[in-house]
Amino acid sequence: MATRQRTRLDPDLRREQILDAADTLFRSEEYSAVSLDSVATSAGVTRGLLHHYFGSKRGLYLAVVERAVRVPSTAPLIPEGTSGELSDVLAACVEGWMRMIEAAGGLWSGGAGGGGFSVGDVDAILVDARDELVERMIDEVPFPDHLDRDLLRSALRAFAAFTRVATDEWLVRRSLTRQEASAMLHAALLSVVDRIVPAMERARID
């Protein structure tokens, strides 16, 4: 009987194939119910290959979360066709954030705190993703030239923490609709530019 041959893929493509399979399983089942064997079967690879790429189920899960919450460097932060008005650009940023959170499917909420890793493991990923996003916003969003960039960076990081709470109100507590959460985040982001950073600048002078 002929032995089935596994297709040899580029390592990056193989890694993405494994992450795709793991992402599907972690979304459909509790973290504790997902085994490396089930991921390997779904991905069409050996369990040993999973250990080679990710080390453990913990490492695999955190890699899935990291991929879900990061905006690819090749993806434009501001969609083509967005007007140059700052309000419209910020609205596009908020919409992109909300779509990313929806696509992530609450992965960090469903698995954090179990299986040999802590909420802190996921928080570290979110902080790194937040900092990358803030730097891209400073580079790509047409913020007024007169705003102090260091203060703006700090304010945007604080805003990112606020967005996480707003996301919980929207997706976990269900106390806000998507439209309400979007309106709140857009208004808050405009306030960062129009009121908060200028107030910080005045406080620095005083």
Instruction: Please give the mean pLDDT across all residues of the chain.
Output: 88
Residue 180 pLDDT > 90: yes
pLDDT tens, 47-80? Answer: 999 999 999 999 999 999 999 888 888 888 898 8
**In the chain, ranges of CATH 1.10.10.60 domains:** 11-55
66-74: long-range contacts (C-beta < 8 A, 24 or more apart)?
Answer: 66/125, 66/129, 67/19, 67/23, 68/23, 68/100, 68/103, 68/104, 68/105, 68/107, 69/100, 69/104, 69/108, 69/125, 69/126, 69/129, 70/129, 70/132, 71/96, 71/100, 71/129, 71/132, 71/133, 71/136
84: its two tokens? 């140059």
Rounded to an integer, the average pLDDT of 116-137 is: 83
Separation of alpha carbons 74 and 46, rounded Å = 31
What does the pLDDT look like over 131-163, one tens digit per residue? 999 999 999 999 999 999 999 999 999 999 899
What global pTM score does this model have? 0.80
Q: Which residue has the higher pLDDT, 83 or 106?
A: 83
Count of C-beta atoms within a 10 Å radius of residue 203: 9
Question: Is 1.10.10.60 the CATH classification of the domain at 11-55?
Answer: yes
Query: What would the 3-class secondary structure string for the chain be?
Result: CCCCCCCCCCHHHHHHHHHHHHHHHHHHCCHHHCCHHHHHHHHCCCHHHHHHHHCCHHHHHHHHHHHHHCCCCCCCCCCCCCCCCHHHHHHHHHHHHHHHHHHHCCHHHHHCCCCCCCHHHHHHHHHHHHHHHHHHHHHHCCCCCCCCHHHHHHHHHHHHHHHHHHHHHHHHCCCCCHHHHHHHHHHHHHHHHHHHHHHHHHHHHC
For residues 51 and 105, which has the higher predicted lDDT (pLDDT)? 51
Share of the chain above pLDDT 70, in %: 89
Burial of 90 (0-12, 13-18, 19+ CB in 10 A): buried
